[in-house]
Amino acid sequence: MKRTIKYIGCGLISAFVFSSCSDSFLDEKKNYDNVSTDIYNYYSGANGRVNDVYGWCLPTPNVQEVQLWKYPSAGSNDLIGKSTEEYSGFGSFVDPDNPLSSTSSTNSVPDYFMSTQSNVQEAVYGRIRNINDCISGIKGGSLSEDDKNTFLGQCYFFRAWCYYNLVKWYGGVSIVTDVQNPDESSVTPRSSAKDCIAFILSDLDKSAQMLASKTMKGGWGSSDYGRVTTGTALALKGRTLLLWCSPLFNRSNDESRWKSAYDTMKSELDSINACGYGLYSTSNNVNGSDFASMFSQTGRNPEAVFITLFNNFLDNGLNDTQKNNSWERFIRPSNTTGGGKNASAMIIDMFPMADGKRPATCDTYTKLAVSDSTYDENYPFVGRDPRFYRTFAFPGFRWAYSGDPTQADSHNPSYDSGKNYAVWNYVWYTSTSDQANPESGNSYGADNLLTSKSGVYVRKKSDDYDVNNSPLYQWNAKDANGGFAHSGAQHMEIRYAEVLLNLAEVACGANQLSDAVALLQKIRARAGYSASNNYGLQSNLTSDQAACMSAIIYERQIEFAYEGKRFDDLRRWMLFDGGATKVAGAPSTWTLTGWGGNTCTWLGFKPLNGQRRENMEFRVADKFGLGGTTYDSDPLVKNNVTRCAAVDLRKDLGPQLQTLKAWYKSNLVLKLKKGDARNASHVDEYMYFNPRYYFLGLSSGASVVNKSLPQTIGWEDSNNGGAAGTFDPLAQ
């Protein structure tokens, strides 16, 4: 692997060629914003500037609890994830005790509008300015029209991407298309959401057209794999059209929007396919193994419509060549040198049963059929959707890897250097009072997990050795960030499954129910269902629009769990309160008149407001007594209890799950632990998403540096003494 630096232009301005790992185009970027316009007269110079745009704009999973404006949530337990069913612990958007403020830095509304103004790369409009500079320079340069189109097509995509991420939060924002000077004279008013959507769609149409000749014959060549394509642009266009059709922006349920989006997206699907995209699948899909292995592909991956590439380099003193994906180290248990993420009991209880239907105990999605199989929360792993086992890890399941964790801690179990690793994260307590207390965290996990354990682990997107025996990480147990720190796993922001489910949703909205169901069936087929039971779907979806839409939203929740998509779906469909709560100062056009005035009622969805999320853990049964605080104080071990064989997802699950169930029944007890907060009197508190959060207001920091921009309706304007905001993002 080589790194090439070229020198071009009069000022020895350095451009660069990407390091490549086999077929990969890697996004290892430098800042070439402050350059002479002469650079655009050279292919290598323009290429370096476009690569710089990638470096500024590509999404990443390398963010944990603090979600930043520039990185859409990738499924972590950030303030977005903790505002959904996926994690417990009140995220900022659902915290009932700390309402967000637009006039104070205390509990400030998140700033996705300006962010850090002192650093142009950290500033929202700094990135847009960089793209505009690149567009202007390329247009004014002396390259051939073909080369210009190649570069401009990529720039237009990323400008649309930046604006999409603004509009989904604010509705209407300032549309800037030239290179503005960063001074007070550069003022651009906020445009309506309608105009912003039109602008995004225009940029994406330009991108798709300009990239067609290079990408619609199977995608880019191997050395450019990872760049955006015509298909990427059209996929984001579909996501944008869906946003515009959704109740958040379409309060009256204007069916013409759905029909227009459906016609457009259906007609453009062939162009997306022509770029080499499709559902990832193999001829040997065992217990959802295809669903797992698509996240551990190298090189071309048909599922990966919009991706960020990484490498597994260790720090060699040249940090600009090292770009690692941190997700694996985030989710792996601590006794493998990872961190571990704890799934909420709510999302576990909501996953479908093996027949594709919702559990009878799931009191939401009530327009969807209930499973014939009995769900027992004491053994939640029995008889579930194949994707369940690729999303969560319970005590007694294999989760193999390649590496020796004893190099980091001699008490960590080796399990043949990870190749036969099983997670046994059951816990014990040191006192009976803690054991019975749902608020107590004084439990200790088996196999040296001790206090660094999760009750149920998030497993989604893992590089599982049983699925991929050529790991994407370069193991280094003694690294400060653990053995999985140097992973080259791809991050998929838009998967092909989303392309199909976006199309299914607009098909349903346009009342093309048969088409919507056919697309659902494709997703279910890859998951492991078959035509013999209609892919686990109920029969009335082609005749009941509300049930069909509910099935699509449910499918999105399962298919994209822990990929950062759920919060956007909850906001689009206003599922915190059904859109029934009025926002102070809002005009009548904000009133939800479509969907019977309440999306939750129409869908049969239980509003998230007023609910709380708990966590589950499996503790040692009372008959084995208490344990100690050290790795060798496991009561089961002291009582000579033999563990059953860990569930191996490569084999028939039925008998294995029954064996594990019997072992649990003899040795473990389910304990529901406090997830969301309780008050000082130990009384449960519940999620509350203030309806004004559907459209965010400008933070006080953003308002101070944009004094001429009006505040959003429903929010106080810090520039006008806290007066009510006046900007209406839904105004036509």
What's 399-411 look like in SS3? CCCCCCHHHCCCC
Asked whether the beta carbons of 240 and 204 are under 8 A apart, the reply is yes
What is the pLDDT at residue 567? 97
DSSP code at position 426 = -
Instruction: State residue 672's pLDDT score.
Output: 97
Identify the bridge partners of residue 397 per DSSP, sorted by sequence position. Answer: 423, 647
What is the distance between the alpha carbons of residues 677 and 684, in angstroms, rounded to a whole number?
7
Q: How far apart are CA 561 and CA 388, in angstroms?
A: 10
The C-alpha angle 304, 156, 264, rounded to 5 degrees, equals 65
d(CA 660, CA 383): 12
Q: How many residues does the structure list for the chain?
A: 732
Instruction: Quickly tell me which residue has 């930043």 as its tokens.
Output: 68
- Rounding to the nearest 10 degrees, give the CA dihedral for residues 424, 426, 430, 436: 180
Q: Per residue in 210-226, is it b (16+ CB within 10 Å) or e — as a string?
A: bbbebbbeebbeeebbb
d(Cα 545, Cα 556) in Å, to the nearest integer? 17
Cβ(449)–Cβ(333) under 8 Å? Answer: yes
374: DSSP letter: P
CA separation for the pair 483, 460 (Å, rounded): 18
Residue 310 vs residues 28, 61, 157, 297: alpha-carbon distances, Å: 9, 11, 21, 12
CA distance linking residue 349 with residue 501, whole number of Å: 23
Q: Are strands 723-724 and 716-717 parallel, antiparallel or unpaired?
A: antiparallel
- Residue 295 CA to residue 282 CA, distance in Å, equals 13
Beta bridge partners of 8: 13
Q: Single out the residue of 389, 386, 387, 376 nearest to residue 349, CA to CA.
A: 376
User: What is the C-alpha separation between 520 and 503, in angstroms, rounded?
Assistant: 10
Using CA atoms, how far apart are residues 97 and 101, in angstroms rounded to an integer? 12
What φ, ψ does residue 694 adopt, rounded to 5°? Answer: -60, -35
> Is 518 exposed, middle or buried (CB count within 10 Å of its CB: 0-12, 13-18, 19+)?
middle
711 CB burial (10 A radius; 0-12, 13-18, 19+): buried
H/E element holding 393? strand 392-393
Token pair belonging to 135:
């567009």
For 400, residues 6+ apart whose C-beta sits below 8 A from its C-beta are 415, 418, 419, 420, 421, 464, 465, 466
Q: For residues 726 and 585, give the distance between their C-alpha atoms in angstroms, rounded to a whole number.
A: 8
pTM (predicted TM-score): 0.94
DSSP-assigned letters across all residues of 623-665: GG----SSTT--HHHHTTPPPPPPB-TTS-HHHHHHHHHHHHH
Q: What is the b/e burial string over 132-162, where b = at least 16 CB atoms within 10 angstroms of the residue's CB?
A: bbbbbbbeebebeeeebbbbbbbbbbbbbbb
The rounded average pLDDT for each run of 10 residues, N- to C-terminus, in the chain (732 residues) is: 24 24 38 71 96 93 70 91 97 96 93 77 84 96 97 98 96 92 71 97 98 97 96 98 98 98 98 98 96 95 97 74 93 98 98 98 97 97 98 98 97 98 98 95 97 98 97 95 96 98 98 98 97 97 98 98 98 98 96 98 98 98 97 98 98 98 98 97 98 96 88 96 96 88
C-alpha to C-alpha distance for 292 and 270, rounded to whole angstroms: 26
Interstrand relation of 392-393 and 457-458 (parallel, antiparallel or unpaired):
antiparallel
Helix (H, G, I), strand (E, B) or coil at 602: helix
Closest CA to 686 of 15, 55, 88, 60: 88
CA distance 664 to 658: 10
> What per-residue confidence (pLDDT) applies to 69?
60
Place of tokens 């093996």: 354
**Nearest to 109, CA basis, from 715, 686, 609:** 715
- Which tokens belong to 723? 């007066």
- CA distances 496 to 98, 269, 276, 554, 567, Å, are 38, 10, 10, 17, 19
Cα→Cα distances 132→50, 128, 129, 677, 711, Å: 11, 6, 5, 45, 26
The predicted pLDDT at position 9 comes to 24
DSSP string, 487-542: B---EEEEEHHHHHHHHHHHHHHTT-HHHHHHHHHHHHHHHT--GGGGGG--GGGG
Give which of 699, 170, 712 is closest to 725, Cα–Cα: 712
The sign of the dihedral angle between the CA atoms of 525, 530, 531, 536 is negative
Q: What is the DSSP string of 214-280?
A: HHTTTSS-GGGBTB--HHHHHHHHHHHHHHHHSTTT-TT--HHHHHHHHHHHHHHHHHHHHTT----
What's residue 320's pLDDT? 65
pLDDT (0 to 100) of residue 182: 57
What residues are paired with 669 via a beta bridge?
Answer: 619
